[in-house]
Amino acid sequence: MEKIRLLIIDDSALIRTMLSKIFESSAAIEVVGTAADPIIARDKIKKLKPDVLTLDIEMPRMDGLTFLRNLMRLRPMPVVMISTLTEKGAEVTLEALAIGAVDFVAKPKVDVANTLNAYAEDLIAKVKAAAKANVRSGSSSVSNQSNHKQAANISTKLNIQDKQATTPKKHFVTTEKIIAIGSSTGGTEAVKNVVKGLLTTTPAIVITQHLPIAFSASFAKHVNEVTEMKACVAEEGQVIKSGHIYIAPGDRHLLVIRHGTHYVCQLNDGPLVNRFKPSVEVMFRSIAQNVGSNAIGVMLTGMGADGAVAMKEMRDAGSTNIIQDEASSVVWGMPGEAYRQGAAHYVQPLDQVAAQILALVK
């Protein structure tokens, strides 16, 4: 099996050395070169033809975002950002993901040299996933006519005869219908794509996206800016209302529980599930147990399998589920596993997910 050819771009010689040691500990990755700034990197990309780049944001001669914009315009390829765990780092990282970076690893601002090794497993996993990712420039979708046909073919194979999808529904009170979205790699842009066309009359949405806590407020702000719905970071005991979006904070699991005639957010500081906190598995399982047939589940792009088993539990409990198709996913890990588990009613390209949601809640 051919190794993944990796180029490391970072202005710190110490960080370049440490990252090289981390990646070379993996039998799947070969560090073909390093670069201290984007100008040097530009020449090394042409010469070394790497499969994946890791890219620091703050560098001399040209900042990482400017370099990333040029790269995605001229030679789109998988990029994993190395960013800082700060509010400013969150803003810049989310912008990098919007430009076309596949993923990021957030490093602490203090004592990076001694703490970077703690991220070794994460770094290696993300570079491996990036090597297989569908790369697109900016937030443009790769969905085209052939992808729509693929989605239609898969839906036909699923032989959907779901009553919720095909028969008129009774009117639900505003707190009764809940849309639950799970996402990871590529998800920050995918979530925005789904909610951008939704109105204040849309039922409540709960979201678990794998992000560190330092990024939660920035992500909620970015989501809030693209939709007529009101997006926020979920709080303990918050009543879930139609027209609102509740995003799991980066250091807590988000559960949905019934409280009288309402659903409310419950935050849980338990152990990691599937290596994540927040975990899609935890949120989807609470939906299966407490919302059942009043729920619509949505699984968007993401590495790994978090949430797939619980999404099948949602289907078994009467929920109607949509998964993003492979062609439009940055990484078809989580949605692919949900599909293999038999959790899906509908498989849709990203640009059709919102329309599918609206068709189901009519």
Same-domain pairing of 151 and 60: no
Domain boundary among 103, 131, 159: 131
CB atoms closer than 10 angstroms to residue 184: 28
Domain boundary among 131, 157, 180: 131
Contact criterion met (CB below 8 Å) for 83 and 63: no
- Catalytic site residue from 26, 83, 183, 184: 184
Query: Does residue 140 form part of some domain?
Result: no
Query: Does residue 60 form part of some domain?
Result: yes
Query: Does residue 29 form part of some domain?
Result: yes
- Catalytic site residue from 26, 56, 210, 253: 210
Same-domain pairing of 331 and 257: yes
Q: pTM for the full model? A: 0.89
Q: Give me the CATH number covering residue 219.
A: 3.40.50.180
- Catalytic site residue from 10, 51, 306, 325: 306
Q: How far apart are CA 212 and CA 209, in angstroms?
A: 9
Same-domain pairing of 198 and 339: yes
Q: How many domains does the chain have?
A: 2
Whether 184 is a known active-site residue: answer yes
Domain boundary among 131, 153, 183: 131
Same-domain pairing of 96 and 160: no
Q: Tokens 């809640």 map to which residue? A: 361
pLDDT per residue, tens digit, the chain (362 aa), is: 799 999 999 999 999 999 999 999 999 999 999 999 999 999 999 999 999 999 998 888 888 999 999 999 999 999 999 988 788 889 999 999 999 999 999 877 777 777 788 889 999 999 999 999 999 766 443 333 333 333 333 333 343 333 333 333 333 443 489 999 999 999 999 999 999 989 999 999 999 999 999 999 999 999 999 999 999 999 999 999 999 999 999 999 999 999 988 999 999 999 999 999 999 999 999 999 999 999 999 999 999 999 999 999 999 999 999 999 999 999 999 999 999 999 999 999 999 999 999 999 98
Whether 306 is a known active-site residue: answer yes
Domain that holds residue 286: 145-361
Q: Give me the CATH number covering residue 17.
A: 3.40.50.2300
